[in-house]
A and B are shown apart, each in its own frame.
Chain A
Amino acid sequence: MTWSLNEIESLSRKAARGAGLSWGLAEEAGKAARWLSAAALPGPRVLADLLTRNDGRDYETLCPHDEEEGTWVARGGTLCPLISGATLCDQADQLAQGRAIRLGRTASPMLLLPYLDAAAQITGCEITISWDGLTVACGPEAACLGPACNGPLDTDITESVTIRPESLTDGMPLPRALRGDMPPETAQRLAAFAQRTYAPETEESRLSGAGAGLTDND
């Protein structure tokens, strides 16, 4: 069974909210899972792993702090890619102006890709991101996987991520599919987080729904 990208985005957004992210960050997490699914990457699973890992942790411990010029670290030890990704995208203009940024220890760095792709789309500039010997270039055209990439993109943790305003001379474009894949186990984990955003059913609540109490047999 395949999923529509709309379903993947919607479930991921609710799951991110259920896991405690603000609505705005959750909206972007939904877009991120969608983008990765369309690129045939396991976005929903990596998101589910990240939400599980960070469940109950404070924003303040996960968000980037510019400890020394150009290097971001998290006070809790490991950066959340959803927060760092949003922040990178917010600073797209600085990346376009030539600023390089290094991220310290970061969870699920693959989740940064959609945000950098958005930054590249906004500015029209190419941006490359590297970790653990992998390089991905995001640009106004399709995102490309660098030539020497043998390791997995879906690593749990990396000690360092580098983001530079430069292009790749050679690379393999990531696909842009119109359908996504999500293992049932991933869907269940995301649904469990999403469930936290739903109010428990009560008789009072049911009766206040649209059309409640009126017959439809007319």
Chain B
Amino acid sequence: MKLPDITAVPPRDPNVVMRLDRLGSFHQSRLSFMRILLRRLEAERWTFDRPVFDIDTRGTGRAVYTAHGPDRSYSLVAFANDLPPEKRSDRVIATEWDATFTLFDGIPTTDDLDRLQDNVPRQEAGRISERELSLSRANRSVRLWDHVVDALAAGRQPDRDKVAEVGYLMRTTAVYGSGKFGAADREVTAGRPEFQAPFQVEMLSVFLTRAFVMDLVEHMARSRAPDTAVPLDPDLRRRFGIGNSTGLGMAPFLLTHPALINSWIAAREAALARIRALPQAAPHDVAIFRRFARRARLHVDDWHSEHPVQIAKIDALRADMDAVLDKLEAADLTSNRPWDRLWLWAEDALTLEGQELMASLLMEPYPHLVDELATCMGADEAATWRIDGAMTCTDLRALTEDVYGWALAIDWTDPAAQARVWYTSEAKLEPRLGDRFNEPVEPYEQPLCPGRDAARMYTDLIASDEATVAGFLMRHPQHRHIVRRAQIAGRLPYAEIRDNTIDASVKPIDMLRMKLSFFGASHFDPRSDRWVRINMYQHAPFPHELGARSGDDWAYPFLTEAAE
């Protein structure tokens, strides 16, 4: 298959893409990490079993879910707890959870399980080893959990509307990987094909967690009423995803992994550019696109939030999708670079939510143009990390003006421009966002404000008579981190968020949304400006259904036959 000439439509300008309001409008796509994982599990015919399910009638005990790939096996080890309501908190400062998990590298022995039982339920206070790849926990959605157990125990299926309203039975909070709390470093697994794409360990862990949670709820119903209990109807069962509650802890990641973020965005932008460059579209590809657009419209109807900002965004997105469906009625999408014409229309006609959903939808008909880009989404961060001291100060100046032009235009003496401070609390090292002028936290500021720091560096740079970056940094070591960032962004165009992360109006949920959308999450439901709930794997097949059902086509609700 000949690829279209991608120079025909250049990827979007980072100054357009890397703004927080746009990143905060991203949606899942073919390049989301959950879909990359399930495509692989399906294509390689992974098999799954449950060697241990030792849970008592109160719902406490342990279970093991093992995934067997072509070369290796991985096991989710789950510990279920009977948690009193007053201890149920999804904040990092919590100390107990309804369920805790680790992904074990291989198949654990009983000794491994005993060791893990002493540590995994304690999460950050425990210790895991190089045999473990992740550490996570989840709490029940109490209202839906009780309803589902009651209904199944009584021999009934739960109410569909209640299921739709919440969408999951348990919410994970932190899912730790990459060497945290003693776990194996990323380098240990990075060379394995199944973990080449980012966050595959974490996505596998959550995929197996969903299977465990559904088994657990059925087990609880059966334990309560062995004579009357029924299992969930398989179609209704797939409507349960796994929730996640994510706070500020995730936000710094976007700033501390610039090369990786570049890989994600560059892959997505390359996909969009390839599709926009297509000179024509085959009728069946147009039909696929129309069908996905209708499914996306249904998805918007299923998306609930109580947050005023998100409610307004969803309302606007609903109108956007109506406009898209109208446009599709009349548009000729077969010739004359049809997707580019549609895209340019969308840039004028739709809100950011609608535009970014359009970007995701355009990828759906074109697996052969898009899916291979998944192999470009990792990053060798070391390759671009070291400072190039030989760069001239003249070049650094031009680079700073190019990457941080938006920051140099900000009046940093305005208190609103640096109203916030990113810092770490000594309480369980929880990342927080403070008020610079009303809280005593400025001395603890983390370097998560590249715009302000670039502006400060630039001021010293234009006053400096040093010839090279090496000389400049010798005199100004406080600028070392931001010079590194500038040089990384010079090599990798989408590495830097081109927006003020400490402005009075900053919404950390925009940063969380960008990362979670790449995971493949949906139903973003901000609970404040710094905390968001999402749903993962809703409508996806369960491990035992892979093969019989697509590992890829599940991210939008399915049309009913009448709507087809």
Known contacts A25-B477, A200-B426; decide if A217 and B130 are in contact (CB<8 Å). Answer: no
Query: Chain B's nearest CB lies how many Å from the CB of A176?
Result: 10
* A63 close to B (CB within 8 Å): yes
Q: Which residues of B contact A1 (CB under 8 A)?
A: 127, 182
User: Does the CB pair B425–A209 fall under 8 Å?
Assistant: yes
User: Does the CB pair A178–B185 fall under 8 Å?
Assistant: yes
Query: Chain B's nearest CB lies how many Å from the CB of A49?
Result: 21
Which of A90, A122, A178 touches B470 (beta carbons < 8 Å)? A90
The 8 A CB mask of A81-117 against B (1 = contact, 0 = none) is 0010011011111100000000000000000000000
Chain A 16-35 residues near chain B, CB threshold 8 A = 21-25, 27-28, 31
Among B139, B141, B425: residue with most chain A CB under 10 A: B425
* B68 close to A (CB within 8 Å): no
User: Does the CB pair B470–A206 fall under 8 Å?
Assistant: no
* B414 close to A (CB within 8 Å): no
Query: Chain A's nearest CB lies how many Å from the CB of B546?
Result: 31
Closest to B472 in A: A90
Query: Chain B's nearest CB lies how many Å from the CB of A4?
Result: 3
Q: Which residues of A contact B484 (CB under 8 A)?
A: 24, 27
The 8 A CB mask of B439-483 against A (1 = contact, 0 = none) is 111011001000000000000000000000110011001111111
A128 CA to B439 CA, complexed, in Å: 50
The 8 A CB mask of B137-154 against A (1 = contact, 0 = none) is 001011100000000000
User: Does the CB pair A6–B179 fall under 8 Å?
Assistant: yes
Contact residue range for chain B?
35 or more
Query: Chain A's nearest CB lies how many Å from the CB of B135?
Result: 12
User: Does the CB pair B424–A199 fall under 8 Å?
Assistant: yes
Chain B 475-533 residues near chain A, CB threshold 8 A = 477-484, 508, 527-528, 530-531
User: Does the CB pair A211–B245 fall under 8 Å?
Assistant: yes
Known contacts A209-B91, A210-B530; decide if A22 and B478 are in contact (CB<8 Å). Answer: yes
User: Does the CB pair B389–A22 fall under 8 Å?
Assistant: no
Chain B 9-55 residues near chain A, CB threshold 8 A = none
Q: Which residues of A contact B378 (CB under 8 A)?
A: none
Q: Which residues of B contact A64 (CB under 8 A)?
A: 474
A27 CA to B255 CA, complexed, in Å: 14
* A212 close to B (CB within 8 Å): yes
A48 CA to B387 CA, complexed, in Å: 25
A59 CA to B85 CA, complexed, in Å: 52
Query: Chain B's nearest CB lies how many Å from the CB of A51?
Result: 16
Which of A27, A87, A197 touches B481 (beta carbons < 8 Å)? A27
* B101 close to A (CB within 8 Å): no
User: Does the CB pair B447–A23 fall under 8 Å?
Assistant: yes
Q: Which residues of B contact A94 (CB under 8 A)?
A: 390
Which of A4, A118, A208, A216 touches B184 (beta carbons < 8 Å)? A4
A206 CA to B92 CA, complexed, in Å: 11
User: Does the CB pair A178–B188 fall under 8 Å?
Assistant: yes
Closest to B130 in A: A179
Known contacts A24-B484, A209-B432; decide if A201 and B470 are in contact (CB<8 Å). Answer: no
Which of B179, B427, B439, B470 touches A87 (beta carbons < 8 Å)? B470
Q: Which residues of B contact A200 (CB under 8 A)?
A: 426
User: Does the CB pair B478–A211 fall under 8 Å?
Assistant: no
* B247 close to A (CB within 8 Å): yes
Q: Which residues of B contact A201 (CB under 8 A)?
A: 425-427
Among A3, A94, A218: residue with most chain B CB under 10 A: A218
Q: Which residues of A contact B527 (CB under 8 A)?
A: 211, 214
Query: Chain B's nearest CB lies how many Å from the CB of A149?
Result: 27
* B248 close to A (CB within 8 Å): yes
Q: Which residues of A contact B424 (CB under 8 A)?
A: 197-199
Known contacts A209-B93, A210-B248; decide if A2 and B528 are in contact (CB<8 Å). Answer: no
* A205 close to B (CB within 8 Å): yes
Q: Which residues of A contact B339 (CB under 8 A)?
A: none
A195 CA to B426 CA, complexed, in Å: 7
A21 CA to B480 CA, complexed, in Å: 11
A76 CA to B424 CA, complexed, in Å: 33
A89 CA to B482 CA, complexed, in Å: 17
* B224 close to A (CB within 8 Å): no
* B249 close to A (CB within 8 Å): yes
* B178 close to A (CB within 8 Å): yes
A30 CA to B528 CA, complexed, in Å: 34
User: Does the CB pair A4–B185 fall under 8 Å?
Assistant: yes
Q: Which residues of A contact B432 (CB under 8 A)?
A: 199, 205, 208-210
Closest to B482 in A: A24
* B183 close to A (CB within 8 Å): yes
User: Does the CB pair A198–B179 fall under 8 Å?
Assistant: no
* A159 close to B (CB within 8 Å): no
Q: Which residues of A contact B92 (CB under 8 A)?
A: 209
Q: Which residues of B contact A205 (CB under 8 A)?
A: 425, 432, 434, 439, 441
Known contacts A3-B182, A210-B248; decide if A23 and B480 are in contact (CB<8 Å). Answer: yes
* B423 close to A (CB within 8 Å): yes
Q: Which residues of A contact B481 (CB under 8 A)?
A: 22-24, 27
A64 CA to B185 CA, complexed, in Å: 35
A89 CA to B385 CA, complexed, in Å: 12
Query: Chain B's nearest CB lies how many Å from the CB of A44?
Result: 15
User: Does the CB pair A6–B180 fall under 8 Å?
Assistant: yes
* B5 close to A (CB within 8 Å): no
* A5 close to B (CB within 8 Å): yes
Which of B142, B247, B387, B444 touches A199 (beta carbons < 8 Å)? B444
Which of B130, B447, B473, B508 touches A2 (beta carbons < 8 Å)? B130
Chain A 186-212 residues near chain B, CB threshold 8 A = 195, 197-202, 204-206, 208-212
- Can you list 11 A-B contacts with CB-CB less than 8 angstroms, sorted by A residue number? A22-B480, A24-B478, A28-B480, A90-B473, A178-B130, A199-B432, A200-B426, A209-B247, A210-B432, A217-B85, A218-B143
The 6 closest A-B CB pairs, nearest first, are A24-B480, A210-B247, A90-B389, A6-B179, A4-B179, A90-B470
Q: What 16 new A-B contacts, CB under 8 Å, besides A199-B424, A210-B531, A211-B247? A: A1-B127, A2-B129, A4-B179, A4-B180, A22-B479, A23-B480, A24-B387, A87-B473, A199-B434, A199-B440, A209-B91, A209-B425, A210-B91, A210-B247, A210-B530, A211-B90
Q: Taking beta carbons and an 8 Å cutoff, which residues of A are in contact with B? A: 1-7, 21-25, 27-28, 31, 59, 63-64, 83, 86-87, 89-94, 118, 121-122, 178-179, 195, 197-202, 204-206, 208-212, 214, 216-218
